[in-house]
């Protein structure tokens, strides 16, 4: 099972993957980015509905809306996928960008989250 790195652990993620994720989040139509919670947390919305949160710390964690069945599957498949942190754990997942989940799969999950949020609005 994945665990948080200790302060002394050498735990650095390729910063380019964060840039890829941020660019992909912003590429969807009608997306707005804000910081209503903390400076180090970016909130992405579509039609005033949250669909993604990403921190600006290391390790990078992205939280996305997700189908309950898919969420359970992803949590069993990847140690770095967990129920949404501080969110409805039946409807959100949090992914630690450890390199375990391929970037293309993260992109697919971003699109899914975006579409779920669009349908709610």
Does residue 76 lie in a domain region?
A: yes
Does residue 1 lie in a domain region?
A: no
Q: In this structure, are residues 37 and 43 in contact, taking their beta carbons and an 8 Å threshold?
A: yes
Q: For the segment 32-85, what is each residue's pLDDT rounded down to a tens digit?
A: 999 998 889 999 999 999 999 999 887 889 999 999 999 999 999 999 999 988
Q: How many domains does one find in the chain?
A: 1
Does residue 50 lie in a domain region?
A: yes
Predicted pLDDT of residue 106? 96
Does residue 4 lie in a domain region?
A: no
Does residue 5 lie in a domain region?
A: no
Does residue 29 lie in a domain region?
A: yes
Percent of the chain with pLDDT over 90: 66
Which token pair is 47? 């039609």
Interval 98-120 mean pLDDT = 95
User: 10: phi > 0 → left, psi -120 to 50 → alpha, else beta; which?
Assistant: beta
Burial of 91 (0-12, 13-18, 19+ CB in 10 A): middle
Q: Find the CATH number of the domain harbouring 36.
A: 3.90.1150.30
Predicted pLDDT of residue 86? 79
The pTM assigned to this predicted structure is 0.86
Predicted pLDDT of residue 37? 87
* Burial profile 7-44: b = 16 or more Cβ within 10 angstroms, e = fewer: eeeeeeeeeeebeebbebbeebeebeeeeeeeeebbbb
Domain carrying residue 21:
15-120
For tokens 């390199």, name the residue.
Answer: 99
Average pLDDT of the chain?
Answer: 87
For the beta carbon of residue 87, count every other beta carbon within 10 angstroms. Answer: 16
Does residue 9 lie in a domain region?
A: no
Beta-strand pair 49-55/61-65: antiparallel
């Amino acid at each position: 099972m994945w665990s948080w790195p200790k302060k002394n652990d050498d735990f650095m993620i390729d910063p380019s993957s964060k840039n890829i994720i941020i660019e992909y989040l912003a590429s969807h139509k009608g997306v707005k980015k804000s910081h209503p919670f903390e400076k180090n947390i970016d909130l992405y919305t579509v039609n005033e509905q949250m669909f993604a949160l990403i921190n600006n710390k290391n390790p990078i964690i992205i939280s996305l809306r997700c189908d309950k069945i898919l969420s359970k599957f992803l949590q069993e498949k990847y140690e770095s996928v967990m129920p949404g942190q501080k969110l409805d754990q039946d409807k959100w997942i949090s992914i630690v960008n450890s390199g375990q989940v391929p970037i293309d799969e993260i992109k697919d999950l971003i699109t899914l989250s975006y579409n779920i949020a669009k349908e709610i609005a």
